[in-house]
Chains A and B, each alone.
Chain A
């Protein structure tokens, strides 16, 4: 039953991007360790290596003192390592019991012992008795459950294999207070029974509630381990940010104080958003920060009319409520998606076609192709796009240049409000610099920009003002003197007091 796990100097690269430079972690039975780090610090990569979902490029994983190598999640589970996934891993068409026991069903001979399976599922469900609704039964199909109860099924699924080590990766994100309390009582029981537990959470408060130790990652490197009862929030945040690369020095121009308000949002809810309010002036670059999945993308999509929302949206003094992106586009709003390949580009079509895809209506019923070509060429030059020919497929471009095409496509429509969803993700440093210069130029021309970035450096270096989102709410609004890394990271972990 007892276990010791030691990760030593793990490395993981995706293409040229290093996700984990030097990840280390030690944990033994009866311990609760929190993996702590900002966006892109490598904490989820590290946990994926431990669970066999990702194979490392270097380093060593020692389980019970011997080198371990997990080719797939099943191999890790056989050795007693279970994980509660952040992205749900349940089969919607199957029942709660079938999901929990999938691939280790209790059997009788060749067949499945359905009675035993139901009984053991009920035993597991009883662990959360009082915090779940009566309809959550072994036979309930998972599709009929709300997110919090699905998350509980997910936790029970991990627990059903009697693991020696359980990883809770943002397992509390969709649970309510009672359910979280119950989970933490269970964590204490598991710990007493000799289980090892790793938790990853975006709530600082939870780290102090259940963890014995915290292992802090920064830029893909494990920078230290602290005993939770001998530390405080301030020290942990300090470890998360210390010595981090200083923000690029491309300060945006101060936007004129008398610039008209382009966008005003009051109490907007929808998706993960729980009611946010803010305003954005022409020529202003407003950053959206916080850990990933706190509602930033939902905010951009709601403003673009791509997801339903409630609350007021006032655009240049006029109240609007878009229910389709087409309406937003008519009002000169542009949205640059984060996932280039899936949402932003037709990879096998030409650069020319991609650039003009959303602008053809400008060129008449029978397109004046010559004119469109000239505009596209100008745009490509403006963006300093590196390409062989306008007719080359977008798939022939590098990541950074492909991203320029996505932006160029929207700039050809001359937007007044630009919504950016983590546009520099996976873009090389050189192209990033050009992109920043482009943002600066747009800003000078008076374009209002709402800029979500998972890279804190960009927010600190570029933005006039940053809204930090946490669980669908604006946890902090930082500008001027108060726009510091410590405040940014602190607010993204939900701390209530500013740290500097």
Chain B
């Protein structure tokens, strides 16, 4: 493979390095926890990670388009509270389907608010989505002031199921990747990468830059709704701040997956790998019997390292060239 082809391969498959990292941490995890590759354990882990995987996919789309969405976690919380209000253990299948549909609608709406503020009012994505996160948080508290709610047992059981002896999460990941493969082949994806890479150049080429920007946040809202559905199925109940902590993790997963925060490159495979890596690292910290008070610190260091890695890599490359 000559250098141009290699460059081409890596620029289209930014997750390769992340995949290597995942294998490494998985090997370390295996040393501490021999049963990590058993079906039952994988199913357990995947079930906990699935909401974040879905959320990180949405975050990837925003980041590729040159933005960032800091409201995804609170969107998850908001939709979680809505779901447990709409669905009760006695709900019929029809009611449940309607509730899930409405949840997706709420996500799209919340994302559109973000998108319009960022793209049409030209506000800073970080500030805007941080601000709207308080709106979503407020709604969540208003809908469900006290934790509670429960779902029909069939739903909870379905989420824990292993169709054809394969964890449910695998099917979701496959669906996500197929979705992305299809999307990647559309003109919309070309616009997305162009806007994230250089919005001026895209504009002068006739790309509808504003519309593309709005759409990235709408995607993010929709995926936040899907993540909220998964999270609600996983916990079986509601709480007004259930998803809040997922925001930072979704951004870290995207970066760990090789998608630069500067936009215009990367993909969703990286984000999925990033979430798995985060999960495995958490396992290691847990099974290495690190004192609890160190766990937060180590977690924070991992996050910092992930965020700093691309800049560090660039710095080292420049130093070597000199």
Contact = CB atoms under 8 A, between A and B. Distances in A.
A105 B8 contact: no
A112 interface: yes
B6 to A, nearest CB: 11
A114 B186 CA distance: 10
A92 B190 contact: no
Contacts, number: 74
A107 B197 contact: no
Contacts of A102: 190-191, 194, 202, 205, 207
B205 A103 contact: yes
A92 B198 contact: yes
A94 B4 contact: no
A92 B263 CA distance: 12
A180 to B, nearest CB: 24
A72 B264 CA distance: 23
Interface string A62-81: 00000000001110010000
A407 B232 CA distance: 63
B121 to A, nearest CB: 20
A242 interface: no
B230 to A, nearest CB: 28
Q: Give the contact-size bracket for chain B.
A: 20 to 34
Contacts of A91: 193-194, 197-198, 201-202, 264
A85 B205 CA distance: 10
A74 B194 contact: no
B292 interface: no
Interface string A14-28: 000000000000000
A88 interface: yes
A310 interface: no
B186 A110 contact: yes
Given A73-B204, A135-B4, A141-B11, A111 B198 contact: no
> What are the 3 A-B residue pairs with the smallest beta carbon separation, nearest first?
A74-B206, A111-B185, A89-B201
A107 B189 CA distance: 13
A500 interface: no
Contact of A105 (B187, B197, B200): B187
A192 interface: no
Contacts of A103: 187, 190-191, 205-207
B4 A105 contact: no
Nearest to B262: A93
Interface residues of A, number: 30
A94 B194 contact: yes
A144 B4 contact: yes
B197 A72 contact: no
Contacts of A107: 187
Interface string B1-13: 0001101100100
Interface-centre pick from B182, B193, B204, B264 (highest chain A CB count, 10 A): B204
A396 interface: no
A140 interface: yes
A73 B194 CA distance: 16
Given A94-B193, A157-B205, 16 more contacts: A89-B201, A89-B205, A91-B201, A91-B202, A93-B11, A93-B265, A94-B197, A98-B190, A102-B202, A102-B207, A103-B191, A112-B186, A139-B8, A140-B4, A140-B8, A141-B7
Contacts of A144: 4, 7
Contacts of A105: 187, 190
Contacts of B197: 91-94
A53 interface: yes
24 contacts: A53-B204, A73-B205, A74-B206, A77-B206, A89-B205, A91-B264, A93-B193, A94-B190, A94-B193, A102-B190, A102-B194, A102-B205, A102-B207, A103-B187, A105-B187, A105-B190, A107-B187, A112-B186, A112-B190, A135-B4, A139-B5, A140-B4, A141-B11, A157-B205
Interface string A338-354: 00000000000000000
Contacts of A72: 203, 206
Contacts of B207: 102-103
Contacts of A459: none
A473 B265 CA distance: 39
A95 interface: yes
A90 interface: yes
A26 B163 CA distance: 71
Interface in A25-62: 53
A91 B190 CA distance: 11
Nearest to A113: B185
Interface in B173-226: 182, 185-187, 190-191, 193-194, 197-198, 200-207
A112 B205 contact: no
A103 B189 CA distance: 11
A22 B270 CA distance: 55
Nearest to B208: A74
Interface string A394-409: 0000000000000000
Contacts of B187: 103, 105, 107, 112
Interface-centre pick from A111, A114, A137 (highest chain B CB count, 10 A): A111
A111 B202 contact: no
Contacts of A111: 182, 185-186
A74 B190 CA distance: 16
Contacts of B8: 95, 139-141
Nearest to B5: A139
Interface-centre pick from B5, B198, B264 (highest chain A CB count, 10 A): B198
A74 B204 CA distance: 8
A73 B193 CA distance: 20
A139 to B, nearest CB: 6
Nearest to A74: B206
A114 to B, nearest CB: 8
A441 to B, nearest CB: 41
Nearest to A83: B204
